[in-house]
Structure 1
Amino acid sequence: MTGELATFTSPVTSVNQSVCIADGSSIPIRSQGDARLSSDITLSSVYHDLSSKKIFGRGYERDGLYYFGDPLPSHVWGPSPVTALSQHRCYVTFIDDYTRCTWVYLMRNKSEVFSHFTHFLQMIKTQYNTVVRNIRSDNGREYITNEFRAELNKCGILQQLTCPYTPEQNGVAERKNRHIMSVVRCLLRGMGVPKHFWHMAVLTATYLINRTPSRVLQGKAPLHILQPTSTLFSIIPRVFGCTCFVQNRSPTRTKLDDKAIRCIFLGYSSMSKGYRCYDLITRYMYHSLDVTFLETVLFFSDSTPSPDPGSEILAADDPIPPRPLPILEPPSSPPTPTDSLPPFASQDPSPRAQNPLPVSSPESGMSPPLVSDIPPPRYPTRVDSISIPRSVHEALQNPLWVSAMKTEMEALQHNRTWDLVALPKGERTVGYAASGIVQVKCGLKKAFDIKDLGPLRYFLGIEVARSRHGISLSQRKYQPAESGELLPDPSIYQRLVGRLIYLTNTRPDLTFAVSIVSQFMHSPRTSHLDAVYYILRYLKSCPGRGLFYKSGVQSGLSCFTDADYAGSKSDRPEYRAMAQGTSEILWLRSLLTELGFSMTDSSYLFCDNKSAIMLSSDSVLHERTKHIEVDIHFIREKVRSGVITPSFVPSYAQTADMFTKSIGPSLLKSSLVKLGLVDIFASA
């Protein structure tokens, strides 16, 4: 039946009939004839609907086939052998057959399928302005109840049931369920999360699967096809089951209470832009974005008690019960010192041993004190009493360090790590001289079958050139260009950007541009690929440019810091950048000291923000700095000790700008000179 008269190849004949369609309504027919769809396909007795011209549905093409009216695969999993903390035992899934997007509803009984299905129909109609035309499921009793079928007839939805014991007929739902449970097992096993949290793992697995590119969808994510303009991850994904600390925003919190609450991360909130974090003590589920994650620290260990399966998780809108105080019982018997304790443990008794706390008794009426059953430490409590030598000569003057060195040498000889022999006559120990390196090479050649390839010239795509002026590192022969026409495959874009990332080892001038294009690795567009081509054209203009290290004595150590924290113009990001720069300076000074280069002069720390420089030099804690984290205030200590000297640098001379923002040609040219980027292969 069609409403287009132009498709008929023969004169239509008048008829007076009606056709009943799927929703139960009747459509009058006025004529019929032969319709030609293509050069080799002709249909006869096609009805012509001239009165209504109603569109009953739209189809789509996939793998050369045309589909009209996608079914809605659905499946119920459960009951689970382990009851969840929320008392759920099963869940139902509804899957869009076209986009493969999945919706999951947790249930305590299978009889809740009908209520979730009606909620799902209303949600689809409101949010996506569409309706469900047919549903596909197995022969479970929850799908064939009278109220379920009545709802289907009311909405005009066709029901497709699989044959008994034939789950392959509902393959989309079965495969999706297998995928969900595979991810759930990985989430629970990866961080040692108890099985009582399987319901949170199911919600997290569905959240991740809907946002993961699929080969069935040509490298796209289900949510990206369903909502092309939406952001796949509005918040940063985290490791399920890790330890996290939620900021305590309770209005009853005092200055003596904890500012953060230790919780376990259990997924992402569906009602707000935040994370789900569960507190085992109060059994409360927090929905918050102010969370600090320790993604490598397991929340559950051997000493952590497992949660009670009979306890329920409190919802986000329930009142938070008070956190109980951890009362530590007194030890049954005081620890007695033994002969295995170090001498300083018995010579320097702790104040607790001198003045023991009174033990409570029912007769005295005293309340039991809060004491710890942890034995006293078996290490020195005063670290400042141990002096660390700064040279071998100073260590040899201290009998304690001499004894420690003898003990270490005896252990090495006992394990036959090496043989200690006398220094041959006329030989010297290996130092920084070139002759020492030659001796090492000769020794290695005698012990192993090796060949001296001479000075380093090429290694892992990095070309090394030497001269009397210095050493140059470049990646001239490492070209990340791709041949052939562009394919609609994100892997081509990913390979290009991956090679550009490796190229930044010797081309720091590409760092900012490559950091921008690397943000679109999973869903690149043509504009992103054009930006990569711009970078490649820039590389073609100077392929031999690389880092050049001048020979001779260098004039101290200096650092340029800059920050572009989401476009913020405040001085806090600049101050944090100075703190990170201070950490790098301390590490480099320590490394140079170990290599034999003494650093006595102060290192300059350049910044283009005068407010941040004043904060680093001002020791007064006023309103502008009281909210800055305490751990970065060590920059002031380094300024007072003379290790670093903060110095202002104008924006036009800021070398670090090229790493945080796009800059003009003039500033780029001057920054290349300051960074030591030289093209030794360019024509003079």
Structure 2
Amino acid sequence: MKMEAQLLCLESLLVFWRNQTWLLQRIYQDRVSKEKIGEGFFLNGLYYISTSSSFSKCFLTESKSAIQQQLWHKRLAHPSFNVLSMLFPSFCKVSHKCETCHMSKFTRLPFQISQSRATQPFEIIHSDVWGPASLESFDGYRFYVTFIDDFTRTTFVYLLKFKSEVFKCFQDFHNLVTNHFSSKICILRSDNGTEYTSKIMTDYLSAQGIIHQTSCVGTPQQNGIAERKNRDLLEKARALMLQTNVPKKFWSQGIQTAAYIINRLPSSVLNFKSPFEVLKGRKVDITHLRVFGCTCFVHVQSNHRDKFDPRAVKCVFLGYSSTQKGYKCYNSQTRKLFVSRDVHFDESNSFFQLSDNEPQGEHICDLFPTPIPVEAAIGTPSSPQLVQQFSNTEEVPTESNTQDDQQAVVPNTSQPRRNPPRMRHPPPRLQDYETYTTRYPLAQVAHSINTSSSHSAFLIKISKETEPRNFEEANQSPVWKKAMHDELKALDDNRTWSIVKLPKGQKIVGAKWIYKIKFNSDGSIERHKARLVARGFTQTFGVDYKETFAPVAKMNSVRVLLSVAINCGWSLYQMDVKNAFLHGDLEEDVYMRLPPGHPREGEAGMVCKLHKALYGLKQSPRAWYSKLSSVLLASSFKRSHADSSLFVRHGKAGTLVVLVYVDDLIITGDNVDEIKSLKLALHNTFAIKDLGPLKYFLGIEMDHSSNGMFLNQRKYVVDLLDEAGMKESKPARTPLSSRLKIDVEGEPLSDICVYQRLVGKLIYLTITRPDITYAVSLVSQFMHSPTTHHLQIVKRILRYLKGTVDRGIIMKNNGHFNLVGYSDSDWAGNSIDRKSTTGYCTFIGGNLVTWKSKKQTVVARSSAEAEYRAMASIACELIWLKTLLGDLGIICPTPITLHCDNQAAMHIAANPVFHERTKHIEVDCHFVRDQVQSKLIETVYTRSCDQLADIFTKILASAQFERLLSKLGSRDFPDPA
């Protein structure tokens, strides 16, 4: 049995070797890199033969050869197999696997051409963002985004000022595809830029059912169609600009024109059809194309020139309009880009001449320092401008000079005119273009010829400065970047926070930057202030805050203090506390998101644990006020009973007053030495900055002269008009039209935030503008559900502000401190709910200090009742003012005069008789009766035509409106001293 087992085992072994030999021979025959030697063959560095007698010996020999080959491969820094075989022909001719070679020499795998193609227009969209450009275009753009249709290869270009605008552009493009081409976008292909992967973009794509395909990180080749399109756009734009020496500032127009041309050129991908031909199904005319950057002559219409003025103006051709049948031309004299159909071209001459010492493409002309707004896209325009370009009939402009009655683009002639004719408004379809000469320039109504020279210089300096609206704008300016860096450094130095991992279950609040320019009293910039603010509105009561109340100076208190100081001849000074809220300690655990621009912003899960109060937190004002008030009270100051933010110190050295508005302080008194001592004491306690005499406080400009002080918010008005796009609107004589009818009907606004923001800014403007108080009170009643009708009323107010930019209130030294009030009401003036409007105003020392216009809470049954309720409101105001004056050390003469134009209401206030007219009136309204009977208030009858409070209750004719305003002390800039 043992012998049989051995024979069986030997037989099996022979069968195994026979099979192995057959298998190796088959492998040998199939290999391309085979080489026969004798009766064996090489395989993987080993030599095999079919004879079993020599197989083991050859195996050992070739194994030793492979070891030598690997050793020399390492010695010679891992050369390729071909190099190694040349040095050692005896080595095996098949390379072996080497991990080090993979680690040190691995190259990217070849990119395969995409086989997936769209089967219908707009099924697949390729997109990419280019920028930022090394030079901002003359119209203020730094980026552009492209959307390329995979089926037709039509290119759509949108110019961008910031990358954050990509989402809005895609929305516009998606609406265009849906509305004008009746198509649906199925797939969007892009790279992994944050502008495409942001939450708002992701949510929108998901809601629309659009699949978002992105390239792998660091692999732009996978987004090849969009990348190659960028190259094509840049090459063509570069060629267009170089051939006619167009300055680089016009690159935005070059890109748009390049896109316009590309959409009309045959493409090999489309079997040499143009993208528009595939999209529209017909040939596209190109006979209207002209040489980009050439000289052109634009016809000037007869109503914009005199008899002997030139009939044409020399311009430069910069592209094609998308919404008009005309050419885009740029007038270097007026710096306007406009559209015209009446154009003659000189294509052989370039408008921009290249000097001998300037390299081609570097010709930059300083004729264009001021960027002006133009349309968002040309050859592939923005969403509202695409209707005509993709219309069924494609008409082209002609080189005729025929008059076009609808032509609104009127370039100015190069020769100045003494009496320019009146300009017409452009038609509504051109409102998005800067294509006309402004009919109502702001300079005609905003001037400072009546101000003192020092205040004029101050206004000029502060008007030149603008503040960024968001982090993206500020991050492009070195000055504001340094301000943000300094703020972060100050916060770190004060140990405001520590960077920690967000504990599980803890809530975080957001953070944002607020930018403010601090001015000295002469108008020079004291500093650029970048303030980091926490988004405290996301805090939860009882979790990350408890008590929040903190007194803030009322604007009424500010005006009262100014009137007292002017009548007393006191000097007024302003101080600013740096990082005021950092002086307050937090009792709760508050976690804040890392601020934009922080070096560790990109670290996941890292947050700021706040140790000290920060602007924006609900408890921060309380902590700061507690700290500041303790310092002032320790310096023998007493807190006013009428306004907790007013601190007064009476002593042998004189009177000293401090008014606190968060971190801004107004200091005044009758002893300059005491004021200097107080400034020094505060400087030793806080990081505080002396801004000198009071000149610019909370957006209020103050002009001091021998006539008194003039308060207005001129810069605030200009900025508001600019934000609302109303700087070129026609001025109105009154805030409200005399034919105005308030109703709730009208189309609801799609975005009420715009309305709320404008009304909120108007409310703050009433600090120095009693003339708009009633109008603002009216529009503020519809904050939660405004309609287009209400928005038109707001625009009317803005038009009135356009004509009264310089208006403010004057405060004079009248030599007394008499307290006087005027009370009025408009019975059932509200046509919606028939409620009445209360209006009143008060004077201290002959200066207007407080005023109000407010709808009453209940319906009054008679005009007497409405007037009586108004008298009760002003009685409370007069008592408060008397208390405030007492805290300032001013003895107010009594009785206080209250002017009223309703004798029935005066009798009700004077006689404690209850009858049908009064028994339903609430008890609190009889407060005025108690004050009259105690001889604290004396009612005086005033005719309705002399009732100053009448302006706060109803719409008045322009003549009466102006007359009452002059009596209130509201006027334009007074005469200089």
TM-score class, shorter-chain normalisation, is: 0.3 to 0.5
The answer to which structure, 1 or 2, has the higher relative contact order (CA under 8 A, 6+ apart) is 2
Give the greater-gyration-radius structure (CA): 2
TM-score normalised by length of structure 1: 0.37
